[in-house]
């Protein structure tokens, strides 16, 4: 019976993932995009005062990962992160191309995880996607600073950390771990929504 119930559940999930996204899915993704933008706006002023590599990402990750997790759990398929973070990258590109660049790099890292795993239906996949997203955000931000922003305070600070990899590498690791914290918080919300019958996801 247990095997049969698992088979039925897996078949239903595969059928759901094969369906096209509907308008309500796009609306949900848009709400998650707003969540990403708001958390970035709130945490950035505090993190920018900390002269350490990855401080902005580390401060943003625990909150942003909640919305990424909810979005991946709801949308499930590959392309979910691109739909959320990609829209944000397009909007913020009006302000700064550098912000768009590291968001695109981050979403590509997360989407690679989803592509290898066949989507974002599983908790472990969502965890790894979050960790990849924020580690890539940290490293790409540093790379852009060193390569394109030399002569600015941000670029000079990034160049300084180039000679101190024992600081930069842990910053990327901590960024990934901060994303894992947000993933855990997001999964708690997913669980409660699932219990209430508001969200059907794989666990």
User: Per-residue pLDDT tens for 183-201?
Assistant: 999 999 999 998 888 776 5
Give every CB contact of residue 111 below 8 A, 6+ residues apart in sequence.
78, 79, 81, 82, 129
pLDDT tens digits, 58-90: 999 999 999 999 999 999 999 999 999 998 998
What is the rounded CA–CA span in Å between residue 126 and residue 65? 10
More confidently predicted of 143 and 42: 42
Residue 203: Cβ within 10 Å count: 10
Q: What's the rounded mean pLDDT across residues 48-58?
A: 75
Which secondary structure element, helix H or strand E, spans residue 135, and what is its range?
helix 123-148
Among left, alpha and beta (phi > 0; psi -120 to 50; other), residue 118 is left
pTM of the predicted protein model: 0.81
Secondary structure letter of residue 118 according to DSSP: T
Q: What integer pLDDT is reported at residue 15 of this predicted model? A: 47
One-character DSSP codes across 57-76: HHHHHHHHHHHHHHHHHHH-
- Judge whether residue 110 has pLDDT over 50: yes
Q: What's the CA angle centered on 182, arms 172 and 97, to 5 degrees? A: 55
Do the beta carbons of residue 145 and residue 24 sit within 8 Å? Answer: no
pLDDT tens digits, 136-171: 988 887 777 666 555 555 555 655 666 666 677 888
Joined tokens for residue 29: 């993704």
């Amino acid at each position: 019976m247990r095997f049969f119930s698992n088979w039925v559940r897996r078949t239903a999930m595969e059928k759901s993932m094969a369906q096209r996204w509907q308008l309500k899915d796009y609306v949900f993704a848009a709400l998650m995009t707003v969540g990403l933008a708001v958390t970035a706006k709130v945490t950035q002023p505090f993190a920018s005062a900390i002269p350490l590599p990855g401080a902005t990402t580390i401060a943003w990750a625990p909150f942003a990962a909640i919305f990424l997790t909810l979005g991946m759990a709801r949308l499930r398929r590959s392309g979910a992160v691109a739909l959320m973070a990609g829209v944000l990258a397009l909007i913020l590109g009006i302000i700064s191309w550098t912000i768009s660049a590291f968001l695109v790099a981050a979403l590509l890292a997360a989407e690679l995880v989803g592509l290898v795993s066949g989507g974002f239906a599983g908790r472990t996949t969502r965890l790894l996607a979050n960790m990849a997203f924020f580690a890539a955000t940290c490293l790409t931000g540093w790379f852009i600073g060193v390569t394109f922003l030399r002569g600015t305070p941000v670029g000079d600070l990034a160049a300084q950390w180039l000679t101190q990899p024992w600081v930069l590498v842990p910053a990327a690791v901590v960024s990934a771990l901060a994303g894992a914290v947000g993933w855990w918080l997001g999964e708690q919300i997913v669980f409660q929504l699932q219990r209430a019958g508001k969200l059907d996801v794989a666990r």
